Amino acid sequence: MNFSFDEQQREFAATMRRALDDRAPLARWLHPMDDDPAWLLVATELQAVAPDLAEDDGGLGLSAVELAITAEELGRIVAPAAFVAGVFAQGLLVAGGDATHDALCESAAGRRLLLGADPSGDWAVLHLEADGRLSGTFLAPIGARTADLLVAVAVRPDGSRALVAGSLSGAIVQPLASIDPTAGSARVVFDHHPVSTYEVADVDGAIASARRRARLAVAAQALGGARACLALTAQYATQREQFGVPIGSFQAVKHRLADLFVETELAASAVYLAACEIEADAAEAATDTAYEVATATYRRAAGDCVQLHGGIGFTWEHVAHLHLERASLLAVLAPGRTRAERYELPASVDA
């Protein structure tokens, strides 16, 4: 399989990188504000919120490779979590077919989505009442504070399940503290909330497909963060001097950077293999592997970035902590895994 980008994909990645560096550089997130220039840029100007969706659904009609490229570039600048929060929900809307076409187009145009469930897959937290209104409470680890539209799988009184979508206006959104301040974590409460209901023939299949797409996006974001940490650390190692020479000339530093480079390239191979195999029989294993490898690499890269920057790397004024916070969040997000599995870090990751 050819893992190299074609000319169109290279131009797609380069355009996105230039735009994000110009409008939403990494240092921008040292001073959080209410606006999110990265989201506005991707949603309105680049129109890349859903690059892999069909043009009729508001997407660009490209592939999952472009979805991974978008997620990687957003991960590189540690953009807030609105993009990943919407990827899973978009996957569920795709399963709704023509009935959810309008909501899917709105999401591709920049309406922010919130997945109405714990990522562990506990779909029973939301219930459709007899009159078709929604009730229930769930914890949303990402994207809840800025979301516009809820998408969820809810349970009817008879135990059957249906896809629901509805405005978050009127819902109770209680912000929660998070290791990553840009995550938008919150407790969301619905009490007899009006929603639209859609019938999906294969609910389990829709959830599985949406999870694969979400795992790919999370893995690609982790890859982007890992590559950014490697670049930051390598650049600093050529500038910081001890005993009259750059610290990058010391063998111990060279070996750590070389090892990290190899791990990052392996993670890139896993991520883009998963993107190429997203519709294949091996998609489940490919996306799960990409997630595990990429998030573990990001955790190590962020830790090395802090340590090899020395004293300045531990300060709030330096961008290294932004990567450490995001890497810690992505390492336990794991769309589609149980709560216990999400909080058990891979053995290869240093706690």
Predicted TM-score of the model (pTM): 0.89
Residue with tokens 């110009």: 22
Tell me the C-alpha distance between 68 and 142, whole Å: 19
- Structural domain boundaries in the chain: 204-342
CATH topology for 204-342 is Butyryl-CoA Dehydrogenase, subunit A; domain 3 (1.20.140)
Let me know: does 189 contact 172? Beta carbons within 8 Å.
yes
Q: What is the mean pLDDT of the chain?
A: 85
Closest C-alpha to 290, from 302, 303, 277: 277
> What residues in the chain have per-residue pLDDT under 70?
1-2, 32-35, 117-124, 241, 334-351
pLDDT confidence of residue 36: 77
**Three-state DSSP state, 136:** strand
Task: Please give the structure tokens belonging to residue 164.
Answer: 């629901």
Which pLDDT score is estimated for 117?
65
- Give residue 261's pLDDT: 95
Main-chain phi, psi angles of 102, to 5 degrees? -65, -45
Query: Do residues 68 and 271 touch, judged by C-beta distance below 8 A?
Result: yes
Rounded distance between C-alpha atoms, residue 43 and residue 76, angstroms: 17
- Strands (DSSP E) along the chain, which ranges? 113-115, 126-128, 134-140, 149-155, 161-167, 172-175, 186-193, 196-198, 241-242, 245-246
The DSSP line for 235-294 is HHHHH-EETTEEGGGSHHHHHHHHHHHHHHHHHHHHHHHHHHTTTSTTHHHHHHHHHHHH
Q: So what's the pLDDT on residue 297?
A: 96
Q: What does the pLDDT read at residue 34?
A: 61
- Give CA–CA dist 180/302, Å, rounded: 14
pLDDT in tens, 242-275: 787 877 778 888 899 999 999 999 999 999 999 9
Q: What is the pLDDT of residue 285?
A: 92
CA contacts within 13 A on the Cβ side of 333: 34
